[in-house]
Amino acid sequence: MSHFPDIHDLDLHARFSRFHQRGILPLQEYHDAVLREDSELTIAEHKLIAVYVPSVNGCHCCFSAHRDHARAGGIDEGVFGDVEIHLDHDDIPARMRPVLAFARKLTREPSATSMTDAQAVYDAGFFEEGLFDILSVTALYNFMNRILEGAGSKRHKTQLQMTDEMRRKFRYKNLWQIFTRQATRDGQ
């Protein structure tokens, strides 16, 4: 149930368009910068982190919204449970295991992260820019999980009809346009 009395249907993503002046559009642009700019991480690896963090937080909304994008990027279907990542699955790339361990610690115990955790990421083949990207994706999805859970969004409702190719090319700034059109159509 939405924690906003004027938003009844839990389709909070679309309804957030009314809060665009308060940072939603810049936040979507930040998503594109963090998830789509050139990086040591592939788009699929970015998305694997973007799905993993919500699994750690138990955020069904973000988990289910990004799972299909991770699949489209090449992450095997068997990696995903209901709202979990099967870390022991053979199709999780070896270089991503220390990344996911780092993301988990940063999510659960941020002050406990150490140079040892960072070194495991470096030993997996990443450089400082890669670690910064990992930090950025992890922080972004912790932030998003708190916004959505705090707003009362417990289930992902809006299903965008997209092919895998569309998902691979997806930009969050385009989502803003979809939300704006939907809000206009709904009379908001």
Mean pLDDT of 94-114: 98
Residue 19 pLDDT grade (very low, low, confident, very high; cuts 50, 70, 90)? low
- pLDDT for 18 equals 59
3-state secondary structure of 80: strand
- pLDDT for 31 equals 87
Buried b (16+ CB within 10 A) or exposed e, 117-151: bbebbeebebeeebbebbbbbbbbbbebbebbbeb
Among 34, 12, 16, 35, smallest CA distance to 25 is for 16
25 contacts 172 by C-beta, under 8 angstroms: no
The percent of residues in the chain predicted with pLDDT above 70, rounded, is 73
- pLDDT for 184 equals 59
Angle at 150 between CA 147 and CA 151, to 5 degrees: 85
Q: What's the pTM value of the predicted model, to 2 decimals? A: 0.83
Summarised one tens digit per residue, pLDDT across range 55-96 is 999 998 889 888 988 888 889 999 999 999 999 999 999 999
Domains of the chain, with CATH numbers?
A: 12-185 (1.20.1290.10)
Total residue length of the chain = 188
Min mean pLDDT across 48-52, 127-131, 154-158 is at 154-158
Mean pLDDT of 28-56: 89
- pLDDT for 10 equals 47
Mean pLDDT of 109-119: 98
Mean pLDDT of 1-28: 63
